[in-house]
């Protein structure tokens, strides 16, 4: 059952921000607390990254419709979410439940799927992939070229020349941007690798965040701008040689793979 996309995105965002949905055990506990029918539970895979689990849960609940107890499956998920948040979020959740039930009120309960109905992945959650460009100031000309290329993919790029506003404390903003990124591209050159500088602090911060990601996540992408040694702390991650003919295409494929991991896409970007 389709609902207006803005409402679906708002519900998705609310569920994505819930604490403790990061592993199979916590995801299974959430499903049980929602009181889903066994037929619905069987269609929801657990053990996925939160950014994949939430769209899967919501998309499956939308298609399922009403539970045997008479509640909408999406309503049940939101009611379970209410028990996990503070009072302000509880009020927001109540408004979402009211809006969803009001919209569904005129639709009537759709027929429930059979146990053998094939699984169809939920519609991707459309938003730009957030990419942080980590680089040395000495490499600015090359980074500007890279920024121009990536801008054509309609990514949400963080590049200090474009993203920092006058008066902002740049260290704070860089730290926040790395934390918010879906991908950190670490641009490396002989100068960047051999000279002390803030770049190495950015790399350490990015490595700390990478350590929090599920195993196999594409979060750090070392990008060699020229033939240069790879820092020891990055040698466990496969790199891209940007200076080679196929380098940019390999980088683009890695970004696409990360977007697929997250269940998101750039809606209006035919080249991504």
Q: What is the pLDDT of residue 112?
A: 45
Q: What is the pLDDT of residue 2?
A: 67
pTM for this structure? Answer: 0.56
Q: What is the pLDDT of residue 109?
A: 43
Q: Can you say whether residue 133 is alpha, beta or left, with left for phi > 0 and alpha for psi between -120 and 50 degrees?
A: beta
Q: Which residues of the chain have pLDDT under 50?
A: 106-121, 266-270
Tell me the domain boundaries of the chain.
5-105, 125-265
Q: 193 and 229 in contact (C-beta within 8 Å)? A: yes
Residue range 13-69, pLDDT digits in tens: 899 888 878 788 889 999 999 999 998 998 898 888 888 889 889 989 998 889 999
- Strands 264-265 and 156-158, by their bridges, are unpaired
The CATH superfamily of 125-265 is Toll/interleukin-1 receptor homology (TIR) domain (3.40.50.10140)
Q: Is 32 exposed, middle or buried (0-12, 13-18, 19+ CB in 10 A)?
A: exposed
Q: What is the pLDDT of residue 97?
A: 94
| The residue count for the chain | 272
Q: What is the pLDDT of residue 110?
A: 44
Q: For the chain, how far is it from start to end, CA to CA, in angstroms?
A: 29
């Amino acid at each position: 059952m389709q609902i207006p996309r803005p409402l679906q995105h708002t519900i998705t965002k609310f569920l994505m921000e819930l604490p403790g949905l990061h592993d199979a055990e916590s995801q299974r506990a959430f499903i049980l607390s929602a009181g889903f029918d066994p037929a619905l539970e069987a269609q929801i895979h657990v053990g996925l990254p939160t950014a994949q689990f939430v769209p899967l849960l919501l998309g499956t609940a939308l298609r399922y419709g009403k539970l045997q107890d008479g509640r909408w499956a999406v309503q049940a998920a939101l009611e379970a979410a209410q028990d996990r948040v503070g009072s302000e979020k509880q009020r927001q959740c109540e408004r979402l439940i009211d809006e969803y039930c009001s919209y569904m009120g005129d639709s009537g309960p759709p027929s429930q799927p059979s146990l053998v109905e094939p699984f169809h992945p939920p519609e991707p959650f459309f938003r730009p992939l957030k990419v942080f460009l980590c680089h040395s100031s000495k490499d600015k000309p090359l980074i500007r070229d890279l920024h121009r290329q990536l801008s054509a993919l309609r990514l949400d790029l963080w590049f200090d020349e474009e993203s920092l506003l006058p008066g902002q404390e740049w260290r704070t903003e860089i730290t926040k941007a790395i934390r918010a990124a879906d991908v950190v591209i670490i641009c490396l050159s002989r100068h960047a690798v051999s000279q002390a500088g803030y770049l190495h602090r950015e790399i350490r911060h990015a490595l700390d965040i990478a350590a929090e990601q599920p195993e196999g996540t594409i979060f750090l992408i070392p990008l060699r701008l020229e033939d240069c040694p790879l820092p020891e702390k990055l040698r466990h991650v496969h790199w891209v040689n940007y200076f080679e003919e196929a380098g940019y295409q390999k980088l683009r494929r890695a970004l696409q793979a990360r977007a697929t991991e997250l269940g998101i896409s750039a809606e209006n970007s035919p080249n991504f």
